[in-house]
Amino acid sequence: MSRILIFRVLSVVLVSSMSGLLCATEPSSKEIDYPDRAITVLVPYAAGGPSDTLTRIVTDHMSRTLRQQIMVESILGAGGTTAALRVKRAAPDGYTILTGNMGTHGAAVGLYPKLAYDPRTDFEPIGILAIAPIVILGRKDLPPKDLREFVLYLKANAYKLEEGHGGVGSIPFIACLLLNHILGVNPQLVPYDGVEPSIQALVHRQVDYMCVQTVDAVPQVRAGSVKAYGIAAPERSPALPDVPTTKEGGLPEYQLSAWQGMFVPKGVPTAVVEKLNAALVRALDDETVRERMLDLGVNIPHADQRTPQALADLVKREVDRWTSFVKAAGMEGAK
């Protein structure tokens, strides 16, 4: 065999080997190009509620990082599980995202015996976007002046008092379920089609009290349209400096914060999840985003809370926690 022929054979082998190596190490063209069209984020409650508000604040910045439009769509029904199920069934391409929470990815397992998804295995977590303490609110003309009086009043009048919430499995429902269980009371539960309508019912004195996130409480407390009895956090919120903690008010056992997190369907490529997570983290580090969230009394997740794995671990803990509690409270299979 001539030297020229040997050289050509070796060249072909070398090129083939290098091509195989590049194919094995480089991501697919779809991952490289993502996103090449608009992304939709489904919020499981009515527009104007806390999930919607926080999602819009964060995704507005994420859209600039990803250089694609991010559309936020409200999907109502079944305490948020309708939206979660729709995302589970979506194509695993990263173009359909869910803003989930301790309801859709925690308490729903115990509350809905025929739940058509498993929060722990049917989604790819992106990261936590916000953590908001719970605030106990009463209608403006409710007689109690502080939390101690509210507790006594609720225990004496629970049978005729009405508690508003945004549907079975919504954060206000879960938060007040815990409060009522601690106090041993069973008020009349009044459901609404979303958190925002239930807040308006409280403002217009159609219900007596609620347990809501700071995102809901801050605007109404500042406007003087409701009474704030306590915030279920270790410290007072800078956004509500005059609202005492539940510990200060004599109810230290009631401590609760709600979280919001972003999820995509199971099977979305790791490179896409990582790109979405990077955009989320960048948004949470933006000064304007942080100022808007802090003004609503929201705690911004620390660096170690922003990873997909941190959210996956949180979901597992929340499912265990709320499934046990729902059973203990006698609400198992409420829907």
Please say if the pLDDT value at position 77 is more than 70.
Answer: yes
φ and ψ of 46, to 5 deg: -65, 150
Q: How many CB atoms lie within 10 A of CB 117?
A: 22
Residues 221 and 288 in one domain: no
* 10 within domain boundaries: no
* 249 within domain boundaries: no
Residues 139 and 226 in one domain: yes
Residues 174 and 89 in one domain: no
Residues 46 and 124 in one domain: yes
Residues 141 and 82 in one domain: no
Please say if the pLDDT value at position 20 is more than 90.
Answer: no
Rounded Cα–Cα distance for residues 274 and 309 (Å): 11
Runs of H (alpha helix) within the chain: 3-25, 29-33, 50-66, 81-88, 108-111, 147-157, 171-183, 195-203, 214-223, 270-285, 287-295, 308-328
Tell me the average pLDDT across 248-273: 98
Residues 104 and 190 in one domain: no
pLDDT, residue 331, reads 74
- Structural domain that includes position 92: 31-131+259-328
pLDDT, residue 317, reads 98
CA distances from 332 to 75, 114, 219, 255 (A): 24, 12, 34, 22
pLDDT, residue 254, reads 98
Residues 283 and 316 in one domain: yes
Q: What is the pTM of this model?
A: 0.88
* 177 within domain boundaries: yes
pLDDT, residue 79, reads 87
Tell whether the torsion through CA atoms of 59, 84, 129 and 174 is positive or negative: positive
Please say if the pLDDT value at position 15 is more than 90.
Answer: no
pLDDT interval class at 1 (50, 70, 90)? very low
Token pair 């972003």 in the structure block, residue: 262
Residues 38 and 124 in one domain: yes
Residues 127 and 269 in one domain: yes
Tell me the average pLDDT across 46-64: 94
Rounded Cα–Cα distance for residues 113 and 119 (Å): 13
Residues 124 and 164 in one domain: no
Report whether 74 contacts 47 (CB < 8 A): yes
* 3 within domain boundaries: no
Domain end point (choices 180, 214, 231):
231
Tell whether the torsion through CA atoms of 48, 51, 54 and 57 is positive or negative: negative
Q: How many separate domains does the chain show?
A: 2
Lowest-pLDDT range of 70-79, 122-131, 201-210:
70-79
Domain end point (choices 212, 231, 250):
231
Residues 118 and 266 in one domain: yes
Task: Identify the CA nearest to 101 among candidates 73, 71, 78, 131.
Answer: 131
Mean pLDDT score across all residues of the chain: 91
Tokens of 37: 């069209």
* 197 within domain boundaries: yes
* 78 within domain boundaries: yes
The string of pLDDT tens digits covering residues 269-324 is 999 999 999 999 999 999 999 999 999 999 999 999 999 999 999 999 999 999 99
CATH number at residue 54: 3.40.190.150
In DSSP notation, 19-77 reads HHHHHHHSPPHHHHH--SS-EEEEESS-TTSHHHHHHHHHHHHHHHHHTS-EEEEE--S
* 238 within domain boundaries: no
Residues 202 and 266 in one domain: no
φ and ψ of 144, to 5 deg: -55, 140
Task: Quote the percentage of the chain above a pLDDT of 70.
Answer: 89
The string of pLDDT tens digits covering residues 162-211 is 999 998 999 999 999 999 999 999 999 999 988 889 999 999 999 999 99
Query: Helix 214-223 to helix 50-66 angle, to the nearest 10 degrees?
Result: 120
Rounded Cα–Cα distance for residues 248 and 230 (Å): 8
CATH number at residue 157: 3.40.190.10
Rounded Cα–Cα distance for residues 162 and 285 (Å): 41
pLDDT, residue 181, reads 96
Lowest-pLDDT range of 43-52, 139-148, 317-326:
43-52
* 72 within domain boundaries: yes
